[in-house]
Structures are given as structure tokens and as C-alpha cells.
């Protein structure tokens, strides 16, 4: 089994077909189309993976740093998903 390279990125939060000026944390896998948005762990909890661009960008940097993924490498992974 081969290990898949992945990283985290931010994606716009869309409600009722409109961008609501909030962003969501998402996982992207190299050379796979699309992304996997993170959601609530429980329906009664606050969705900690949605917020301002600054907040979600800080989560992206933190999560990618834990994976030892540089900003440049993350851009390459995200670009491969289109």
C-alpha cells in the first residue's frame, strides 16, 4: 500500500449557494480531484473548523507544520488537485 501525500487548505464556506465571508479547513490529497472539508465532531458543538480567513489560515499552517509540509509543498499538493 502506498502512502498518499496530503495537506490542509482553506476553502470558502458556502451557505444556500452564497459565500458567507467565512472559510473552512479542508484536507487535500495529492493528485486527487476535490477536497475533504472538516466538520463538527458532534451536532451540538461549535464548528471549530469554520471562521475568518485569518483563523482558518492559522489552522492550516499549524496542521501542515505538524505534517512537516512547507508552504511551497502545500501549494504543489493543492495545485495537483485541479
Q: What pLDDT is stored for residue 42 in this prediction?
A: 63
User: Angle CA(71)–CA(61)–CA(26) in degrees, nearest 5?
Assistant: 95
Is residue 13, in this structure, part of any structural domain at all?
yes
Q: Using one digit for the tens of pLDDT, what is the confidence trace for 39-77?
A: 866 666 778 899 999 999 999 999 999 999 999 999 999
Is residue 41, in this structure, part of any structural domain at all?
yes
Is residue 52, in this structure, part of any structural domain at all?
yes
pLDDT at 1 over 60: no
Number of folded domains that form the chain:
1
Is residue 58, in this structure, part of any structural domain at all?
yes
Is residue 72, in this structure, part of any structural domain at all?
yes
In 3D, which of 78, 82, 80 has the Cα closest to residue 26?
78
Is residue 1, in this structure, part of any structural domain at all?
no
Q: How confident is the model at residue 2 (pLDDT cuts 50, 70, 90)?
A: low
Q: Which domain holds residue 66?
A: 6-79
CA 14 to CA 24: how far, in whole Å? 9
Amino acid at each position: 500500500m502506498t502512502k498518499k501525500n496530503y495537506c490542509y487548505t482553506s476553502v470558502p464556506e458556502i451557505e444556500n449557494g452564497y459565500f458567507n465571508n467565512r472559510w473552512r479547513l479542508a484536507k487535500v490529497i495529492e493528485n486527487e480531484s476535490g477536497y475533504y472539508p472538516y466538520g463538527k465532531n458532534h451536532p451540538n458543538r461549535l464548528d471549530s473548523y469554520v471562521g475568518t480567513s485569518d483563523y482558518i489560515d492559522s489552522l492550516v499552517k499549524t496542521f501542515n507544520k505538524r505534517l512537516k509540509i512547507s508552504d511551497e509543498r502545500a501549494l504543489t499538493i493543492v495545485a495537483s488537485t485541479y
